[in-house]
Amino acid sequence: MSLMERVQTKINGLKGDGNYRVFSILKKSAEQFPSVKVSANEKSDGAALNMASLDYMGMSVDTRVIDAMVKTAREVGVGSGGSRNIGGTCQEHVDLEKELAIWHEKEAALIFSSGYVANHTAVSVLGSLPDTVVFSDSLNHASIIEGCRTARCQKEIFDHNNPEDLRARLQKCENVENKVVVVESLYSMDGDFGKVEEIFDIADEFSASKIVNEVHAIGTYGPAGAGLCSELGCVHRADLIIGSLSKGVGTQGGYIAGSLEIVDFIRSFGYGFIFTCSLPPAIMKAAVESIAALKERDLERRGLAEKSNLMRHLLTKASIPFLPGNSHIIPVMVGEPIPCQMISNRLLAERNILVPAIKYPTVPKNGSRLRVTVTARHTKEQIEAFVANLADIYKQEIGV
């Protein structure tokens, strides 16, 4: 078979399974958030209510954040023009790293081009130390899985959020020198919180180090928006916090925060940090401004929790199945990819609602879902309208 035939066979396989992905092309509006314009939506004027945004606190459209970015871009230009070690460390990078370290109550922080790269680099560098086993939750993000793969270390994948399974696996590896436990504080596709404190207790029993991926909890949980570990008062127990600037912070990039030694180690050996240009300084300035604003947004965080509870209440009343949890990520379960895509398509075409279908390999093959997210900017009326429309179409397609 030629390369073209091989490629086509693979793509046809995806299409046949209903797992082929097609972009919805959006035109964001700073004024209309959380509504967007979707070019595929020919009905109405293309406006759609976004029920899947990762911009959980609406910070990407916050005037304070936009102004900081625009002002800095005018002063210093757009691209940084270098990698961090070769002419690409600007004052804005250093200022943001200081701010992130303080936010997470750690000695140091380091910025990466994305949360994906932060996870991948941190896990691959720590995992490549001699005599290492990485203990990774079975629902950890692809970036963590790929980090383990790059490290080529032994992996122990423990059952999702199951401290006892973790304990059994740690016991089995008791004599290994470098034991690294990696979990998430909020699982992106199931929307459940990690049992962080219980996991920490068990890791401590075996002198394992602890990494927490807080990507979906940054900005949305904790008294100053610093994440779930901060809310639980256990941030000092984590050896490394990993975050994203692209979700609750509303800008772009990822980071790690930890001790001077660990951060310096990853800075010195992480290919994902060394061999790439640094992020634009204007984005760094926007992130600093966003974090300053997020520290004052407790009211909005409470509102986010209330709106998420309202969403769960209305979905329950409408008998729409969703995964249990307490966060702002509420996965509405469909199962098979084709009906899931159909519900998503119809919501957009007929009801002006954007909620993309999540399919394999992001979720298991029979676990297709609509990953509904609530943001601090959704109104009660928008949530009510969404559930009413979803209930209508869900029942027509699934027949429950």
Among 114, 124, 220, 373, binds ligand PLP (CB under 6 A): 114
The reply to whether 221 sits near ligand PLP by the rule CB under 6 A is no
Residues 99 and 249: their CA atoms lie apart, in Å, by 13
Residues 146 and 169: their CA atoms lie apart, in Å, by 20
The reply to whether 124 sits near ligand PLP by the rule CB under 6 A is no
Q: Residue count at the site for ligand PLP (CB under 6 A)?
A: 14
- State which of positions 194-213 bind ligand PLP (CB under 6 A): 213
The reply to whether 188 sits near ligand PLP by the rule CB under 6 A is yes
The beta-strand segments (E) located in 199-347 are 209-213, 240-244, 254-258, 329-335
Residues 291 and 226: their CA atoms lie apart, in Å, by 9
Q: Which CB, 41 or 327, lies closer to ligand PLP?
A: 327
Segment interacting with ligand PLP, rule: CB under 6 A, options 23-31, 113-121, 221-229, 233-241: 113-121
The reply to whether 184 sits near ligand PLP by the rule CB under 6 A is yes
DSSP 150-189: HHT-EEEEEPTT-HHHHHHHHHHTTT-SEEEEEEESB-TT
Residues 67 and 327: their CA atoms lie apart, in Å, by 30
Q: Which CB, 69 or 218, lies closer to ligand PLP?
A: 218
Least gap, CB of 388 to ligand PLP (angstroms): 29
- Residue 394, burial from CB neighbour count under 10 angstroms (0-12, 13-18, 19+): buried
Least gap, CB of 151 to ligand PLP (angstroms): 17
Residue type, 296: E
Least gap, CB of 25 to ligand PLP (angstroms): 19
The reply to whether 115 sits near ligand PLP by the rule CB under 6 A is yes
The reply to whether 33 sits near ligand PLP by the rule CB under 6 A is no
DSSP state of 50: E
Q: Tokens for 167?
A: 């304990």
Least gap, CB of 171 to ligand PLP (angstroms): 27
Q: Does the active-site annotation cover 247?
A: yes
Parallel, antiparallel, or unpaired: how do β-strands 47-50 and 108-112 relate? unpaired
Among 84, 141, 179, 312, binds ligand PLP (CB under 6 A): 141
Q: Which CB, 219 or 389, lies closer to ligand PLP?
A: 219
| Sole residue written with tokens 């979906």 | 216
Among 35, 41, 119, 121, binds ligand PLP (CB under 6 A): 119
Q: Tokens for 322?
A: 């969703």
Least gap, CB of 326 to ligand PLP (angstroms): 17
Complete edge-to-edge strand list for the sheet that includes strand 254-258: 108-112, 254-258, 240-244, 209-213, 178-184, 132-137, 154-158
Segment interacting with ligand PLP, rule: CB under 6 A, options 110-118, 224-232, 344-352, 375-383: 110-118
| Sole residue written with tokens 């209330």 | 306
Q: Which CB, 246 or 352, lies closer to ligand PLP?
A: 246
- State which of positions 234-273 bind ligand PLP (CB under 6 A): 244, 246, 254
Q: Which of 179, 195, 210, 247 is catalytic?
A: 247
Among 215, 241, 257, 332, binds ligand PLP (CB under 6 A): 215
Among 33, 116, 135, 200, binds ligand PLP (CB under 6 A): 116
Query: Of the candidates 262, 196, 261, which has an alpha carbon nearest to the alpha carbon of residue 227?
Result: 196
Question: What region does 342 belong to: left with phi over 0, alpha with psi -120 to 50, or beta?
Answer: alpha
Which residues are tagged catalytic? 247
> In the complex, which residues of this chain contact ligand PLP (CB under 6 A)?
114-116, 119, 141, 143, 184, 188, 213, 215-216, 244, 246, 254
